[in-house]
Amino acid sequence: MPTVHNEALQTLYASITERASAQSSIPLHSPGSAARKTVNGKPYIYWRVYLASGKHKETSMGPAGSSRTDAELEAKRLESSEMRALAADVQILRKAGFAAADNSSALTLATLFNAGIFRHGGVLVGSHAFGAILNSLGVRLPANYATEDIDIGSAGSISVAIPDERSFLDILRDSGVPFFEVPEFDPRKPSTSFKARGKPLKVDLLVPGTEHHEIKALPELRAHATGLPHFSYLVSSASPGFVLGKEHVVPVMVPEPARFALHKLIVSTLREPSRAIKADKDRRQAAALIDALTERFPEWLTSAVQQLEDDARPQLGVAAARTIELVPGLTDRARDFLSELAA
What pLDDT is stored for residue 5 in this prediction? 93
- State which amino acid sits at residue 279: A
What pLDDT is stored for residue 1 in this prediction? 60
Cβ atoms of 126 and 151 within 8 Å: the answer is yes
Which of 44, 76, 95 marks a domain boundary? 95
Neighbours of 41 (CB within 10 A): 5
- State which amino acid sits at residue 333: R
Is pLDDT at 316 greater than 90 in this prediction?
A: yes
Select from 284, 108, 69 the least CA-distant residue to 200.
Answer: 108
Is pLDDT at 285 greater than 70 in this prediction?
A: yes
Report the range of poorest mean pLDDT among 100-114, 145-159, 165-179, 183-197. 145-159
Query: Is 141 within the bounds of a domain?
Result: no
Locate all alpha helices (DSSP H) within 96-222, ordered by sequence: 103-114, 127-137, 168-173
Is pLDDT at 233 greater than 60 in this prediction?
A: yes
Q: CA torsion angle for 77, 82, 86, 87 (degrees, to 10)?
A: 0
Q: How confident is residue 13, by pLDDT bands cut at 50, 70 and 90? A: very high
Domain of 337 in residue numbering reads as 256-343
* pLDDT, tens digit (0-9, with 9 covering 90-100), for 20-58: 999 899 999 888 899 998 888 889 999 999 887 778 889
Cβ atoms of 315 and 269 within 8 Å: the answer is yes
For residue 231, give Cα distances in angstroms to 158, 228, 278, 295, 307.
15, 6, 18, 26, 13
Which of 65, 95, 125 marks a domain boundary? 95
What pLDDT is stored for residue 288 in this prediction? 93
CA 286, 288, 294, 296 torsion-angle sign: negative
For residue 303, give Cα distances in angstroms to 77, 189, 232, 285.
48, 38, 16, 19
The SS3 of residue 231 is helix
Q: How confident is residue 282, by pLDDT bands cut at 50, 70 and 90? A: very high
Query: Is 298 within the bounds of a domain?
Result: yes
Q: What secondary structure, in 3-state letters, does 61-86 show?
A: EEECCCHHHHHHHHHHHHHHHHHHHH
What pLDDT is stored for residue 99 in this prediction? 93
Query: Is 197 within the bounds of a domain?
Result: no
What pLDDT is stored for residue 158 in this prediction? 82
Query: Is 72 within the bounds of a domain?
Result: yes
Query: Is 104 within the bounds of a domain?
Result: no
Which of 95, 115, 148 marks a domain boundary? 95
Q: Which long-range contacts (CB under 8 A, 24 or more apart) does 185-189 make?
A: 189/215
* pLDDT, tens digit (0-9, with 9 covering 90-100), for 119-158: 999 999 999 999 999 999 999 877 656 667 899 999 877 8
Cβ atoms of 34 and 45 within 8 Å: the answer is yes
What pLDDT is stored for residue 145 in this prediction? 61
d(CA 184, CA 104) in angstroms, rounded, equals 24
Residue 152: phi and psi, rounded to 5, are: -110, 120
Query: Is 233 within the bounds of a domain?
Result: no
* pLDDT, tens digit (0-9, with 9 covering 90-100), for 204-226: 999 999 888 899 999 888 999 99
Q: Angle 276-296/257-270 helices, nearest 10 degrees? A: 150
What distance separates the 2 farthest-apart alpha carbons in the chain? 83
Query: Is 172 within the bounds of a domain?
Result: no
What pLDDT is stored for residue 10 in this prediction? 96
Cβ atoms of 193 and 182 within 8 Å: the answer is yes
Instruction: Give the single-character DSSP code of 169.
Output: H
What pLDDT is stored for residue 157 in this prediction? 75
Number of H helices, E strands in the chain: 11, 12
Q: How confident is residue 160, by pLDDT bands cut at 50, 70 and 90? A: confident
Considering its fold, how many domains does the chain have in total?
A: 2
Query: Is 322 within the bounds of a domain?
Result: yes
d(CA 107, CA 197) in angstroms, rounded, equals 15
Neighbours of 91 (CB within 10 A): 14
Average pLDDT over residues 77-91: 94
Q: Mean pLDDT, the chain, as a whole number?
A: 91
* pLDDT, tens digit (0-9, with 9 covering 90-100), for 319-343: 999 999 999 889 999 999 999 999 8
